[in-house]
Amino acid sequence: MIKSLAVVTFMTFTLYAQLPDTKQIIVVTTKNWSSPNGTLQRYEKRDAWQKVGKAIDIKLGRNGLGWGIGLHSIPVNAKYIKREGDGKSPAGIFSLKQAFGYFPFEVDYPYEVYGATDHCVDDVDSKLYNKIVDSRKVKVDYKSFELMRFAKDYYKYGIAVNHNHIDEAGAIKGAGSCIFIHIKSVPTSGCTVMRENEIKELIQWLDASKNPLLIQGTVEVVNILLKRLP
């Protein structure tokens, strides 16, 4: 896969749990921690890991990257750590949750259609922090949220990244919420974005039975993370 760089001995860390036996990975790399620009390459494991499709240019958080909460532990001396509202995308190894969009999309991967009443809660004082909820069906205790469907096409197609236990128990308040892969042409508040045709192709490629993962970070960090794959 990515050509290995010099070994960084101080950046040692373990995994929180045994990684799933993944056969699909999405690898996003940047040149440094502050860059909002990156490259995405898909890989699939057959007898060995092989590239799938061409690399695509993507945008990330406007302030680059910070270590997120996923299937890795954060290095004890980490300088950059993802926080709510910091404009950084999460670095690390992450499982993927559901894909989503504004309209039905015939794909094999789990896919949800969201409407204007569906919200992703980013209010750190809410019991629903980092959850996607239908506001008609919950007790609304939040003041800040993201609409999962609005006038622009940014969420016309997307994928929920399992950063900080999105849509499940255990989300750490203030560690960052509502991280998606979706449509946009400029840097974001923390998501990874690309063009519509690219995200559609990505969703069509995903296979839940292959336990797809997102591995995201600087080239140096990604090379280390890739060595943790089973």
User: Kind and range of the H or E element at 208?
Assistant: none
CA 146 to chain CA centroid, nearest Å: 16
Q: How far apart are CA 210 and CA 75, in angstroms?
A: 28
Q: What are phi and psi of 166, to 5 degrees?
A: -60, 135
Report how far residue 97's alpha carbon sits from residue 173's, in angstroms, rounded to the nearest whole number: 20
pLDDT for res 6: 32
Under a CB-based contact definition with an 8 Å cutoff, are residues 192 and 157 in contact?
no
What local confidence, expressed as pLDDT, does residue 5 receive? 33
Tokens of 150: 């609005």
Residues 49, 224, 42: CA angle, nearest 5 degrees: 35
Q: Are the C-beta atoms of 114 and 106 separated by less than 8 Å?
A: no
Location of structure tokens 């997102």:
214
For position 9, what pLDDT does the model report?
33
Per-residue pLDDT in tens (0 to 9) along the chain, 230 residues: 654 333 333 345 555 556 889 999 999 999 999 999 999 999 999 999 999 999 999 999 999 999 999 999 899 889 999 999 999 999 999 999 999 999 999 999 999 999 999 999 999 999 999 999 999 999 999 999 999 999 999 999 999 999 999 999 999 999 999 999 999 999 999 999 999 999 999 999 999 999 999 999 999 999 999 988 87
* Residues in the chain, total: 230
Nearest to 179 by CA among 131, 142, 223: 131
Tell me the backbone φ, ψ of residue 193, rounded to 5 degrees. Answer: -130, 155
pTM for this predicted structure:
0.93
Looking at residue 228, its pLDDT comes to: 81
